[in-house]
Amino acid sequence: MAIGVVLFSLILVLSFVSPIYSLSSNYYDKTCPGAESIVANAVKNAATTDKTVPAALLRMHFHDCFVRGCDASVLLNSKGNNKAEKDGPPNVSLHAFYVIDDAKKGLEAACPGVVSCADILALAARDSVVLSGGPTWDVPKGRKDGRTSKASETTQLPAPVFNISQLQQSFSQRGLSMEDLVALSGGHTLGFSHCSSFASRIRNFNTTQDIDPSMHPSLAASLRGVCPTKNRPKNAGTTMDPSSTTFDNTYYRLILQGKGLFSSDQALLAVPKTKGLVEKFASSHKEFMDAFVKSMIKMSSITGGQEVRKDCRVVN
């Protein structure tokens, strides 16, 4: 029985992470040697005029990889009766798609039909972390672009209200470990959240408590001010942490103070394994950076596409 469960788990993991083709760091060395610099320039140019771009691209890559693997399905536009991933509820706040379009335009001019949109997004996510003061790494390349994108499948994305067992299940289904979960959650050091993602923590939390008891009272008070029940501005929300354009380990220190924004952030303290990792990353910037790089390479290697799109928004 136990062996059967192990084998089933292994098959489940392999079905997510076994590429039909292999990725390599030097994939474009001969066919498009300038590929990485073309992408990096597109990201840098956009981030110069809009400081929210790096966080947007990193989030876009996560949301791509967690549905059908890292196949750029998140970039496809809805067409006819098919509502695409980007129009699914968790993705309507994704933005900066134009940065990927700009990079693709430059790549198509330099080496037509060679660099996939999935690779562009993986490279752009890395470049976004670097631009924000985070670590760099060699991105394995050779992903293919998917031909299917369904808004209904965005329910597979880990939600901000998830508890630790739901988070663990979501990550393990993709061949990702508890360490990957805690390290990749550190991407929340960048960016902004709308009120809807944490509203359930600051009002009517449950039948006996108005506010989530795991949230620091000063944070709850501040968020209630930012997200009033009446006359709330359309895009009301708050930054993920006070240094929201700097890639650092502040996120973990805030969780230890009860100042994680999402239930899913604070949930990392719920079991000893993940709590120990939060404490480790909070106390060591280097430990976090090293773990994040390792987990990013692992996550971005979940493949699933079939072609190299000419236009990132439509299938060939």
- Element counts in the chain: helices (H) and strands (E): 13, 2
**Intra-chain end-to-end CA distance of the chain, in Å:** 46
| Best CA proximity match to 141, nearest among 233, 225, 238, 33 | 33
d(CA 174, CA 301): 11
**157: which residues sit within 8 A by CB, 6+ positions away?**
63, 66, 67, 90
* Size (the chain), residues: 316
- Is 63 part of the annotated catalytic residue set? yes
Structure tokens at 45: 């140019």
Cα(312)–Cα(5) distance, integer angstroms: 39
Residue 153, class by beta-carbon neighbours within 10 Å (0-12 exposed, 13-18 middle, 19+ buried)?
A: middle
The catalytic position among 61, 63, 188, 194 is: 63
Which tokens belong to 71?
Answer: 């196949």
**Angle value at C-alpha 275, between 239 and 166, nearest 5 degrees:** 75
- The span from the CA of 224 to the CA of 8, in Å, is 46
Q: Which residues are catalytic?
A: 63
